Structure 1
Amino acid sequence: MRTSAVKSVLFVGGKRTEALEAARNSGLRVIYAGPKADMTERHHELVDAAFLFPEFSPELALRAATALRDVVPFDLAYTAGDQYLETVARINHQLGLKSNPLRTVSAVDDKALMREVLRGTGVRQVASATIRHLSDLEEFVTSNGFPLILKPSRGSASKDIHIISDAAELAAVAVGPAFTGNAPAGGAASWVAEEFLEGREFSVETHSAAGRHQILAVTEKFKTEGFVEIGHVVPARITAAEHTLLTDETRAVLTALGVEEGPAHTELILTAKGPALVETHTRPGGDAIVELIRIVAGYDIHEMTFSWLSGEPADVSHEPLAGGAAIWFLTAEQGRVTAVAGEPEARSSEGVRFASLSAAVGDVISEVRSSADRHGEALAVGEDADSALRNAREAVARFLVTVEPLDPAGDPVHG
């Protein structure tokens, strides 16, 4: 049981309402503070009070939360959105509210800081360095060689990740959008360089209560060559020994970082030498992983979170609904969309629970560089992971997106 039960919670930001609904179902009073653009009709139905900003800023949110607590008291600030996690941690820290420590959330939010915090712990060490200048990157290459990964220390959604395999690619990155002059683009924002980890990638989904990390599922992940996620399946197709390796390393990571409570989504690569951490997040996994876990393992992450916060046991579970569940994403050809079809056919495919095509006539489809560059998805179930994955991929294959190629100026290419 949580030593201090929560009776009211301040949600900061977020367009999705599943966590709000779980808080309501646990009997909590719900207050909302966030950008006006995030607020939906469903939010209005679920919240007792709301404070909306024209645009979000961490400083404004912190001041608003402090003022709100005198008018509509709350016991904890909470969010499931990456961009709000550190702001929420600062609110809880400043107001003395029990939650994950600010340093923990800051380390999770900043990949360079995360590596520093984990250095010297029992977690497998990954060679890394904070990159503020081109000379930092060149020094890392001298010490660790090629290939290497370069990514924003505070990046998300698989955006702006570079693999640098040789001196020619290093030179290209040095004059590319990642650097302005001799420093990373964005001024004070830093990047992190890491050794390239070769192997299959997984994420371990957990819920922590008083520092005890409960394993909910291991998710198998699929990515493009540019590291953008295009599919997930639960359960991961791994051996019992591999499952133990991944989950033991995850528990070690969360403990070393000081994670005390709530959901976490930890990404690892299973190398020939064992699992190695990519990154972790003190929030549920995205891309409908929450739903995959609910279907296959019977755990509702949001329900667990607010059961724990309200003073009840966290290890609630339900009967699994299928042996496997998977989601797959559409990555269409580049060009201007001239026709779309196939959404009804995808929705009626075997095992499909949800299918949506977001590409529309007139859209310009560019290179897949982040999660925002995907244009459709299908979630499907099956008797096991293989059949669920097959059903999801076959459903996505029914989407038809016709494009006309464009030249660099954005004009149609006629040939």
Structure 2
Amino acid sequence: MRLYLLALNPTDSVTDGFLPAAARLGLDVTLLTDQPDAHRGRYAADVEILECDVRDFRAVISLISTHHASPDVVFTNSDHLQLQAALVAEYFGLPGKPWQAALRVKDKAQMRRHLAAAGLDAVWSAELPVGADPEVLTAVAADAPYPCVVKPREGVASEDVILVDGPEDLVLRCKEIQGRRPGAALVVEEYLAGELYTMETLGDGTVRHVLGGFHTQLSAPPYFIEERSAFVPAHPEPVVAQILAQLDALGIGFGICHTEFVVHEDRARIIEVNYRAIGDQSDQLLEQLLGIPLFELVLRTHLGEPLPAELDARRDGAARIHTPCADRAGTLTAAPGATDLEVDGVRLSYRPVRAVGERHELYHTNRDFLGVVRAIGADLASVDRVVADFLAAQTWEIAP
């Protein structure tokens, strides 16, 4: 059986999660990407890598049709390729995510419109199309409630997501983002107050499991960098019900999904829906903590296999993700290497994200991560103590 996996740049989720899971399931893998050189040499020798314009579903269909026998699985864990993978899977008659749902949640303006039309949540928002007249931006700035948030309509990972506090600031920030992203439409929407959480779900179209989630702490405004997250085994039932109702309205019920939301005065409001596994190694932590073959289960749903009624997931552990971030532009000249250790019953793993010798600008996004600390233990106090001790003993040096 052959899996066609669509990818842009390499990610930990694919390298350390989905590809090993595919091997355990006995799947032959063909990876389609527009960046083949970035992937070569990273995987097992039997992973076939082909260059393809994966952002164009027609190119993907054409390549698959002229390659091996008919595909058995078409899958991606990329935010940017969910619509394409859904369309390709539907074309070949394979299980997959509804393309309409993939479109709704990738397009943040469309998601807001859809939830409002369903009567579930009305968030003030305005769309700034590519090439819009300057008068459109001026009108949006005059009407927007402040503070508000500006972000790319189809962005990801806090890229160019900025809190603004007035009309002049909004106009300035929009022009800055448009200068960096001349082909990107923007969304301006009201700032949703509250504590930030995530909910991780896995479904087969009939059965849906809530895997828990994370409580996330962000950097100081005006940016939204995810600095620390603690595992939440179960959100309060009213919160779960509110989020699942919104996911149902969006058509999210198949495959794995990562939903970010805030809770304020008992009201749960979606920030965004990423129709993929949670990234930045949190998916690997989730698999380890819950004690389930998460990546295999995801692929099995795309093979058309039903999920078990019960996953027998563990809920008695505590876990923390901590991401040291660069605080300035420059070249990383010293940093710890990959580490695995156990202290007082806490299992800690550190994996570098940025290599020594690399030069980067300061992005004010998740691209500023220097590494990822994952820690699992019996209680959060012990986990946090071990993480704090580990970080205090490390050094990251950045030269101008």
Do they superpose with TM above 0.5?
Answer: yes
Q: Which residue of 2 aligns with 1:153?
A: 153
Q: 1 CA distance for matches of 2:27 and 2:354?
A: 39
Q: Which residue of 2 aligns with 1:250?
A: 243
The reply to whether residue 329 of structure 1 matches residue 354 of structure 2 is no
CA drift at 1:206: 0.4
Q: What is the CA deviation profile of residues 126-151 of structure 1, one whole-angstrom value per residue up to 9, with x for unaligned ones?
A: 22121124544443444442111010
Q: Which residue of 1 aligns with 2:95?
A: 98
Q: What is the CA deviation profile of residues 230-287 of structure 1, one whole-angstrom value per residue up to 9, with x for unaligned ones?
A: 2222126xxx7x5223321221122111124110001101122511101112211001
User: SS of 1:179's equivalent?
Assistant: helix
Q: Which residue of 2 aligns with 1:378?
A: 373
Taking a change above 3 Å as real, the CA distance of residues 355 and 345 of structure 1, as seen in their structure-2 partners, is: closer
Q: What is the CA deviation profile of residues 378-404 of structure 1, one whole-angstrom value per residue up to 9, with x for unaligned ones?
A: 111121234324433442333212345
User: SS of 1:72's equivalent?
Assistant: coil
What TM-score do you get using the length of structure 2 for normalisation? 0.85
CA drift at 1:322: 6.4
Q: 1 CA distance for matches of 2:201 and 2:145?
A: 34
Preserved CA contact (<8 Å) 2:297 2:307: yes
Preserved CA contact (<8 Å) 1:130 1:190: yes
> How large is the Cα RMSD of the aligned pairs?
3.0
The reply to whether residue 82 of structure 1 matches residue 75 of structure 2 is no
Q: 1 CA distance for matches of 2:143 and 2:24?
A: 54
Q: Which amino acid aligns with 1:146?
A: Y
User: SS of 1:86's equivalent?
Assistant: helix
User: SS of 1:119's equivalent?
Assistant: helix
Taking a change above 3 Å as real, the CA distance of residues 358 and 120 of structure 1, as seen in their structure-2 partners, is: closer
User: SS of 2:292's equivalent?
Assistant: coil
**Number of aligned pairs?**
386
Preserved CA contact (<8 Å) 2:207 2:307: no
User: SS of 1:178's equivalent?
Assistant: helix
Q: Which residue of 2 aligns with 1:21?
A: 20
Q: 2 CA distance for matches of 1:106 and 1:201?
A: 24
What TM-score do you get using the length of structure 1 for normalisation? 0.82
Q: Which residue of 2 aligns with 1:290?
A: 283
Preserved CA contact (<8 Å) 1:381 1:387: no
Q: 1 CA distance for matches of 2:312 and 2:287?
A: 8
Q: Which amino acid aligns with 1:163?
A: L
Q: Which amino acid aligns with 2:74?
A: A
Task: Name stretches of at least 5 consecutive residues in structure 2 with no aligned partner.
Answer: none
The reply to whether residue 402 of structure 1 matches residue 397 of structure 2 is yes
Taking a change above 3 Å as real, the CA distance of residues 262 and 193 of structure 1, as seen in their structure-2 partners, is: same
The reply to whether residue 9 of structure 1 matches residue 8 of structure 2 is no
Q: What is the CA deviation profile of residues 169-227 of structure 1, one whole-angstrom value per residue up to 9, with x for unaligned ones?
A: 124325x42235xxx9424x311111101111011000012244310112111221310
Q: Which residue of 2 aligns with 1:301?
A: 294
Q: Which amino acid aligns with 1:270?
A: V
Alignment counterpart, residue 186 of structure 1, candidates 182, 187, 190: 182
User: SS of 2:104's equivalent?
Assistant: helix
The reply to whether residue 109 of structure 1 matches residue 106 of structure 2 is yes
Preserved CA contact (<8 Å) 2:197 2:262: yes
User: SS of 2:197's equivalent?
Assistant: strand
Q: 2 CA distance for matches of 1:293 and 1:358?
A: 19
Q: What is the CA deviation profile of residues 266-325 of structure 1, one whole-angstrom value per residue up to 9, with x for unaligned ones?
A: 110112251110111221100122122223333332122233344544236456496111
User: SS of 2:154's equivalent?
Assistant: coil
The reply to whether residue 388 of structure 1 matches residue 377 of structure 2 is no
Preserved CA contact (<8 Å) 1:332 1:365: no
Q: 2 CA distance for matches of 1:88 and 1:323?
A: 35
Taking a change above 3 Å as real, the CA distance of residues 157 and 151 of structure 1, as seen in their structure-2 partners, is: same
Alignment counterpart, residue 227 of structure 2, candidates 214, 230, 234: 230
Task: Name stretches of at least 5 consecutive residues in structure 1 with no aligned partner.
Answer: 1-6, 407-415
Q: What is the CA deviation profile of residues 58-116 of structure 1, one whole-angstrom value per residue up to 9, with x for unaligned ones?
A: 25333212323xx3211331111223222212212333433222111111221112222
Preserved CA contact (<8 Å) 1:100 1:261: yes
Preserved CA contact (<8 Å) 1:323 1:383: yes
Q: Which residue of 1 aligns with 2:120?
A: 123
Preserved CA contact (<8 Å) 2:101 2:251: yes
Taking a change above 3 Å as real, the CA distance of residues 11 and 107 of structure 1, as seen in their structure-2 partners, is: same
Q: Which residue of 2 aligns with 1:340?
A: 334
Preserved CA contact (<8 Å) 1:20 1:46: no
Q: 2 CA distance for matches of 1:140 and 1:211?
A: 41
Q: Mean Cα displacement is larger for which, 197-206 or 329-338?
A: 329-338
Q: Which amino acid aligns with 1:155?
A: G
Structure showing greater Rg: 1
Taking a change above 3 Å as real, the CA distance of residues 329 and 185 of structure 1, as seen in their structure-2 partners, is: closer
Taking a change above 3 Å as real, the CA distance of residues 30 and 340 of structure 1, as seen in their structure-2 partners, is: closer
Q: Which residue of 2 aligns with 1:73?
A: 70
Q: Which amino acid aligns with 1:206?
A: T
Taking a change above 3 Å as real, the CA distance of residues 199 and 129 of structure 1, as seen in their structure-2 partners, is: same
